[in-house]
Each structure stands twice: as C-alpha cells, then as structure tokens.
Chain A
Amino acid sequence: MTEFEGYLASQLLTGIQTTIVLFAGCAVIGNLLAIPIALARLSSSRWVRYPADAFALAFRGTPLLVQLYLCYYGVGQILSGIPAIRYSVMWPLLRGASCYAFFVLSLNTAAYCSEIWKGAIRSIPEGQREAGQSLGLSKTRIMISVLLPQAFRLALPAIGGQNILLLKGTALASTITVFELMGAANLVRAQTFRVYEPLFAAALGYFLLAVLVTTGFGFFERRLARRY
C-alpha cells in the first residue's frame, strides 16, 4: 500500500464512522417521529392536522441542501445573536454542524415517512376499524393493536427505500462541514489533487452501506411476512 492509499483509507475510515452514527441516529429518531406526525395528519381536528401538514409540506417541498443551509447558517446565525444561548453550556454543541445535520436529517426523514405511514393507515379496509369498534375497543386501542401493525407491514418496503434515501442524504452533511464519508473524500481530493480515487472509494463505501441497509430491511420484511 502506498502512502497515498494508506492516508486515503485512514481518512475514509474516520469518515464512515460519522456516516454510520449520523445515519443510525437519524433513522431511529426520524422513523419514530414519523408515526405521531402521520397520526396528527390523519386527525379530525384541524388544529392538529394543519400544523402537521404544514411541517410535512415544508420538508417535502424544499431541497435537503437548502434545509441544511437554512438551519446551519440561518438558524445558527440567529442563535449566536442571542446572548442567553451564546454564553450557555449548550453553545459548544450548537456551534458545531453535527447537531444541525442530526436535526434536519431526522425531521426530513420524519416528514417523508409520515407520508408513507399516512398512506398505509388509510389503505387499511374500513372493516378493520369497524370490527375493532364492534369488539368494544377504544379508539386508541384500535389504532395501536389493529391499524398500526397492519399499516406497518404495508409501509415497510417504502420505509426501507426512504432509509436508503436518508443514507444518501447524509452525504450532504459534508456541505455544512460535518466530516463524514463524503467530507473525508473531499478533504483528500483537495489535499492531493487526485479526483477519482477518493470519490470512487467513497462511492464503494456508500454502496456497501446501502447493501447492508437493504439486506437488513429485506430480512425484517421476510420475518414480518412469515407471522400470522
């Protein structure tokens, strides 16, 4: 292994760790947030429905890159102008780009997945709800024990695809100076003026991660299909 290859490998290995942490964290938070948002969007009260709809519209109607810029540069600028935050213990965390990347990627995933959940819950036959009612189950119980488990099976393939998109989205965190896989590749590219090796190596890294995520979701889907 030449000196360049060793350097490239060490940088990319550091980067891929950040990518994995970023992906895993945002996937957990985003997917968990998606369900309450989807329920809010299906709510009959407009005070609950409108804000949730507006949230989903804002995140689904604008590019992820702009969301990252808006949060990191825009909100970051406003936060740094407030003395109470500027001199608080939270500031070292809020100064870095990672927390903004976490925030935006999680909410972005939540918005897209809420759309998937909404569609899945809606596509369950009305008879299921009616059957639950005739058994005397409460509204909450029907949602938790009857509708959501069935919706989950319907939604899972699409949610798997959305998580792949999240993995691809983490590459954009490098634009707000988060040092993940793409950022590492860009750093090596800028330092050594070699374009193709770092980019191809990073592409391979993302490809392997995507294969891993797809296999994981495929396994999960088969497990779920086997039950009942």
Chain B
Amino acid sequence: MNPTASWLTLLSFGDQGWGDELLFGACLSLGIAMSAYLVGMVLGLVGAVAKISKNRLAGATAGAYTTIIRSVPDILIIFLIYYSATDALRWVVSFTGLTSQFQLNGFVAATLSLGVVQGGYSTEVLRGAIVAIPKGQIEAAHALGLTRRQTFFLVTLPQMVPLALPGLGNLWLVVLKESSLVSLIGFTELVLAGKMAAGATHDYFVFYCAIAFVFLVMSGVSALLFQSLEAATANPGRRK
C-alpha cells in the first residue's frame, strides 16, 4: 500500500479503517475518567474531612492513604486494587453461594482502581480548600445554631468550590491521562484499542500519533472548559 495515502484509510470509519474502534475507545476513556473522577472526589471529600478531624485514627488513616498514593506508582496501585478487589468480591460471591464463576466487570474494576488513586490526590486538594475557608465562617454558622452537618453542607462545601476549582481542574487533566493506565489491566479503552489496531496493521506510528492527538484534543478542550468555569464561579465581591 502507498504509505502516504494509507494512513487516511487506516483511520477511516467502517470496515476498512479503525476510526470507529478508536472513537469507541475514546468514549470509554472519557467514561472511565469521569467515573473515576467522581469516585475520587467522594473518597477525597471523606479523606479531607478525616484529615482535619480531631479523631486521631481517622487522621492517621487518611494520612497513610495519601502518603502511599503519592509515593507508589499509580500503575502498581491499580494492579493491587484490581487483583485484591477481584479476589475479595470473588470470595464474597462464592461465600454466599451465588456462583462459583465470578468475573468483575472491566469498567467497574477500572473505575474502582483508578478512583482510589484519584482519591488520594483529591484529598489534598479538597483539604487545602477546606482549610482556606476563614474560621469565622464556621464560628458564625455555629453561632446561628447550625449543626455540624448543616455547617459542612451549607457553609463549608459551597465556599470550597471556587477555592478548589483550579486544583480540581488539574486533577481532571491528570485522571484523563491516567485513564490510559487501565489499558494495562486489560480494559479496551483508547490506548488498548489503538494498540490492537497497531498490532494488526503494523502501522504503529500512525496509530500512536492518532491516540496522542485525541488525548491532546481532549485535554485541550477540558482545560478551556475549566478556565471558563473558573471565570464563572470567581466571586469578584469576595476578592480583595
């Protein structure tokens, strides 16, 4: 095949090209990244509250969690979570006697393992945002007779958003790129789809360039979105 004309056919949609497979993979990558981001956000919120709580055990656990996530390679943690979660669930399922053949859904496994990694990073971002809220706000809420839960959800959380947004935007870009790692636990997202296409056609350069370009576009668009979100939520009245 003519090498200069062939890459267009390779990336086209339909039977001839791999464009549809790559597009589907890109959608899965986005899906994985989004769900892992949400899992990470929930874990991060719990971790951040645990870190600043007066409970020593909760603080130490959250501290150990973030330290480990920040110093051990993400791919290693993803492997460990993937295997231990599959084993644990298989054990639970066989224990209840439902079925002996149990396979964890790939999307769930990928989301879970990536989400745990992401949770460690968001803990730090959210903790920073909570700490940055002036103490007077909390004291005022207490003086108004709000309970601790009300204070957290009505006073702390809404004020955290503009403070945490730059960090959360960064985290989204990180998780978008890290979603490529779940290809290593066998989940067919964009990178693994491209790897298969490259292996089948032996056109490695074309396909990896295409994948890199798709990631570049996805992170570029996200960066612009977060920029406008930051501009929209910035409260000029509170800026000093």
Contacts and interface: CB of A to CB of B under 8 A. Distances in A.
B215 A61 contact: yes
Interface in A21-74: 57-58, 60-67, 69-70, 73-74
A175 B184 contact: yes
B71 A206 contact: yes
A182 interface: yes
Nearest to B86: A195
Given A65-B180, A203-B72, A58 B216 contact: yes
B123 to A, nearest CB: 15
A73 B219 contact: no
A74 B80 contact: no
B35 to A, nearest CB: 18
B125 to A, nearest CB: 13
Given A57-B216, A210-B71, A203 B76 contact: yes
Contact of A67 (B73, B179, B205, B212): B212
Given A61-B215, A61-B220, A62-B216, A207 B181 contact: no
B76 A171 contact: yes
Interface residues of A, number: 39
Interface in A109-148: none
B74 A66 contact: no
A102 B219 CA distance: 25
B198 interface: yes
A11 B103 CA distance: 31
Contact of B191 (A69, A76, A169): A69
B115 to A, nearest CB: 17
Contacts of A171: 73, 75-76
B211 interface: yes
Nearest to B212: A62
Contacts of B216: 57-58, 61-62
A70 B72 contact: no
Which interface residue of A61, A76, A168, A196 has the most chain B CB atoms within 10 A? A61
Nearest to B190: A66
Interface in B58-82: 68, 70-77, 79-80
Contacts of B73: 167-172, 182, 206
B72 A62 contact: no
Contacts of A196: 80, 83-84
Nearest to A211: B71
Question: Nearest 6 CB-CB pairs, A to B?
Answer: A210-B71, A171-B73, A74-B205, A70-B208, A63-B180, A73-B204
Given A65-B180, A70-B209, 9 more contacts: A62-B212, A69-B191, A70-B208, A164-B71, A168-B71, A169-B73, A199-B83, A207-B68, A207-B71
10 contacts: A57-B216, A60-B219, A69-B191, A70-B211, A73-B198, A74-B204, A167-B73, A171-B73, A206-B71, A210-B70
